Chain A
Amino acid sequence: MSTAEFLGNKEYKYGFVTDIESDVIPRGLTEDTIHVISQKKNEPAWMLEFRLKAYRHWLTMTEPKHWPNLKYPTIDYQDIIYYSAPKQKPTLASLDEVDPELLKTFEKLGIPLTEQKQLAGVAVDAVFDSVSVATTYKEKLKKHGVIFCSFTEAIKDYPELIQKYLGSVVPTNDNFFAALNSAVFSDGSFCFIPKGVRCPMELSTYFRINNSESGQFERTLIVAEEGSHVSYLEGCTAPKFDKNQLHAAVVELIALDDAQIKYSTVQNWYAGDEEGRGGIYNFVTKRGKCAGRNSKISWTQVETGSAITWKYPSCILQGDNSIGEFYSVALTNHAQQADTGTKMIHLGKNTRSTIISKGIAAGRSNNSYRGLVKVMPKAENARNYTQCDSMLIGSSSGANTFPYIEVMNDSSSVEHEASTSKISEEQLFYLQQRGISSEDAVSLIINGFCKDVFLQLPMEFAVEATRLLGLKLEGSVG
């Protein structure tokens, strides 16, 4: 069997649709749409103002189609439903009141929301289409002073925090998709770790798209005060539809003095079928600001899904001695396209950043790393180490690297290494000769290739990621 044929078509097991009554607004986007969304969520006037400002700016912007190494038909922004929520009772006192159909959905996805069954030590905010349906362990976290809730609740309960930090890292006019998100975002997660607190458990958000016509526009905002510490996980799945769906999220992280934020993603949106029909267009803006001294932001991502991934989790290293990290595994198969990487902007003295990116391209897919390392004149003794490796499986896939390195001072040191290779026949032979089947051997080699990144993932995610990669590549190499 040839290497390419081998890349199998393991069924996407999260591709089911939940039959649930939904509250849907008509498709299309105008100022009225934004008024409707804002009304539905009972938002204060400043929030509506924020959205309208973003929308007006969005109208003046054009989609960034010329620079990413991606090909896709023009998106009709008037053909998207911007708000879809499962119908439910107005307020929920406890999880028992959540629609059992919904609970079942998340159960099926492996995310049990009833507390006794929960994964030990992980608090989950579950987002279904446009709204957050449940957040677990809220009370326990509150005892430690940690705020973890849906964005809608946060706007109501902590308006001063939201007003202070929303849009402070990703301004509403940052880019086309961020502006769109700022105008129409429907929900998301808010997380606030007060001074000196080490968050007692992993926090996570699980995103699920259910409606075939709707896009998902969520927002995550994490603020870590002085000396605090938090680890955050994000997971996502969507049903199989023939139509492409748009997912344009914005994630903002803020780390003050001595704070640490670790953000991990396992992205498994529906990737479309073998021919490239359907799948999610994943256009995401993620950015963290190391605002304080000695702060640290670490991004870890395992990107396996989506028809198109356009995502550059970045760090602004503003505080002196701050650290930014980016660990990424991006796997593309069939007709998937990924243009992903990071930006490290060194502003403060002695700032350090590490970029480890592993791209695996199989089938007819195209996998690009695009990254920027920028060292500003005041960033004395800044250091960066970048390593981006690509692996090609099959002769019709593509792997590209586009690193941008801009150095504006002489005391900094920037290192960049990249390599491209295929799975070594010798390694395969060696493993097979020891009685390991060719599939297991490939999976072993790929896991070894990605080890530097997987090591950064929290335990449960690492296991999940290893399994996921195996699944995605099953039947592909030999």
Chain B
Amino acid sequence: MVTELAKPQNNYQSAFQSMRKAKPSVAWVELVRESAMDRFEVLGYPTVKDEEWKYTNLASAAKENFLPLAVRADLTVEDANRFSYPETAASHVVLVNGEFRPELSQTNDLGDVVVLDLFNATTDARYSKIVRDDLARSATYHDQGLTALNTAFLQSGLFVLIPKNVALKTPLQITYITDTGASSQMTLPRVLVVAEENSSAKLIESFVARGEQSYFTNSVVEVVLKDGARLQHVRLQREGRNAIHVGTTSAELGKGSSYNSTAINLGAKLARHDVSVVMDHEGSECWVDGLYVVGPDQHSDTHSLIDHKVPYCNSHQLYKGILDGNGRAVFNGKVFVREGAQKTDALQTNKNLLLSPQARVDTKPQLEIYADDVKCAHGAVGQLDQDELFYLQARGINPDLGKSLLTYGFAEEVIGKIEIESIRKELDEAVMNQLHARLEVQG
């Protein structure tokens, strides 16, 4: 008799089938989900043999067999409101375990901006065309196993539409709360943000959790900026210390649009953020910045891809890392300048600060350039400036405190870019606390 070995994917397959039964949809959605599931069956979890995953090993996660969560968590409005900021008290949208929860959200300040369950939007006569055009386009699932899995399990999520010429005054905050109850659960939040012509808005994404259990967040956020749209995007990742977080942000920029994103990575035991910006229309500009603070037993990986497809686009990247204990960080930045994308100006900087002898950083700033009339530069450096440290010591500040001060200043360059005061303050405090803890340990 032949015994069939149970492949981990089979568990996903059965979860997928029951999800489809519970949440049937129109033909095109079914088709997307099905083909995404097929891709996941082929690709599975990425392995370190994959060049893009060379330094981040998901083998143990793949083995743990995180299953897409089916249970609904009970939360009160008060629970949810704890995660909002004074600026976003009336513009706070909440997703719990990937599911949009209107009853926990505050939308009074959102004006003309549309906030809707993404799954429902696919069949909503007013928005189905927009969703169909833009969903699963920039975040391709053909070669990314985890994006495929996320796409296959489309059953809720969030659709945000900032209509033409609308300037949203208050920042819109999306909070992803994970509250799994049991361990080995995976949440698959999916968001589509469409900023129509000449609109402008600030968007805050915040990933948080209740409880210390281990779980896997596999989020995919697609951002589409139409001509002349402007979006400031702040992404705060503060998952639980036992969490695995894999997030994908992919943005497409329209003519003359501007995308300014800052990604802050503080939480999770293993975090990975893939951010890609496709510049397919002339005159667009983007800033893709980030800060990762990695403590003991943490691993943070950032992969950025800026794809210059047409002339006259500018991109700026500044990624900074602070590593302590045996923390590990990976930065892989790729700037692509396609044939014909003349007059491109691309700048990429990655700086890492190692505070302990056990910390490790692997960085790979890449340029791939196929046009000759461009200006591209990248740089990567490590370590505090000894002259600066000496200057502080000459002024009577002891080396440990001096180091902390400089480290704080190092982080401030990224944090200072965030235009929302209470977030800036909170992050300042978080960095300060970490440094203080360090000083105390050292005595």
Contact = CB atoms under 8 A, between A and B. Distances in A.
Interface of A: 3, 66-67, 377, 390, 392-422
Interface in B224-244: none
Contacts of B114: none
Contacts of B261: none
B342 A405 contact: no
Interface string B176-189: 00000000000000
B372 A395 contact: yes
B138 to A, nearest CB: 23
B369 A390 contact: yes
Closest 9 pairs (CB-CB, A-B): A392-B372, A410-B354, A416-B380, A420-B376, A398-B370, A400-B368, A419-B377, A413-B383, A422-B372
Interface string B352-377: 10111111111111111111111111
Contacts of B368: 398, 400
Nearest to B365: A403
Contact residues of B: prevailing secondary structure: strand
A395 B342 CA distance: 9
Nearest to B355: A410
B49 to A, nearest CB: 10
Of the listed residues B358, B362, B368, B372, the one surrounded by the most CB atoms of chain A closer than 10 A to its CB is: B372
A411 B378 CA distance: 23
Contacts of B374: 392, 420-422
A416 B379 contact: yes
B333 to A, nearest CB: 10
Contacts of B4: none
A422 B376 CA distance: 10
- Chain B: interface residue count, which band? 35 or more
A48 to B, nearest CB: 35
B409 to A, nearest CB: 18
Contacts of B357: 377, 409-411
Contacts of A401: 365-367, 378
Given A408-B360, A410-B359, 12 more contacts: A393-B372, A395-B371, A399-B369, A404-B362, A405-B363, A407-B362, A411-B357, A413-B383, A415-B379, A415-B380, A420-B375, A421-B374
B74 interface: no
A412 B369 contact: no
B64 interface: no
B370 A397 contact: yes
Nearest to A385: B381
Contacts of B364: 402-405
B339 interface: yes
A405 B375 CA distance: 23
Nearest to B356: A410
A390 B371 CA distance: 12
A197 to B, nearest CB: 39
A425 B8 CA distance: 59
A416 B352 contact: no
Contact of A409 (B352, B354, B362, B367): B354
Interface string B329-360: 00000000001101000000000101111111
Contact of A394 (B352, B363, B372, B378): B372
20 contacts: A392-B369, A392-B372, A397-B370, A399-B367, A399-B369, A400-B367, A401-B378, A403-B365, A404-B364, A407-B354, A407-B361, A407-B362, A410-B359, A413-B383, A415-B381, A416-B381, A418-B376, A418-B379, A420-B375, A422-B373
Contacts of B381: 413-416
B382 interface: yes
A417 B362 contact: no
A221 to B, nearest CB: 32
Nearest to A392: B372
B352 A407 contact: yes
A474 to B, nearest CB: 18
A26 B379 CA distance: 52
B382 A407 contact: yes
Given A395-B371, A403-B365, A414 B359 contact: no
A291 B320 CA distance: 35
Contact of A418 (B356, B365, B372): B365
Contacts of A390: 367, 369
A414 B380 contact: yes
B367 A395 contact: no
A418 B339 CA distance: 20
Contacts of B376: 418-421
Nearest to B358: A377
B436 to A, nearest CB: 19
A308 to B, nearest CB: 18
B355 to A, nearest CB: 6
A3 B372 contact: yes
B51 interface: yes
Contacts of B354: 407, 409-410
Contacts of B371: 392, 395
Contacts of A66: 51
A390 B337 CA distance: 13
A202 B254 CA distance: 60
A424 B430 CA distance: 46
Nearest to A394: B372
Given A395-B339, A420-B367, A406 B372 contact: no
A415 B377 CA distance: 13
A3 B342 CA distance: 14
A437 to B, nearest CB: 21
Nearest to B385: A413
B132 to A, nearest CB: 36
Contacts of B378: 401, 416-419
A420 B340 contact: no
B382 A414 contact: yes
B383 A420 contact: no
Contacts of A412: 382-383
Contacts of A411: 357
Given A396-B339, A421-B375, A422-B372, A405 B380 contact: yes
B150 to A, nearest CB: 26
Nearest to B334: A402
Q: Name the residue in B340, B355, B359, B366 with the highest tally of chain A Cβ atoms < 10 Å from its Cβ.
A: B366
Contacts of A399: 367, 369
Given A407-B352, A409-B354, A400 B379 contact: no
Given A415-B381, A417-B379, A400 B369 contact: yes
A66 B50 CA distance: 10
A21 to B, nearest CB: 48
A399 B340 CA distance: 14
Contacts of B340: 395
A466 to B, nearest CB: 23
Contact of B369 (A377, A398, A410, A416): A398
Nearest to A411: B357
A289 B10 CA distance: 50
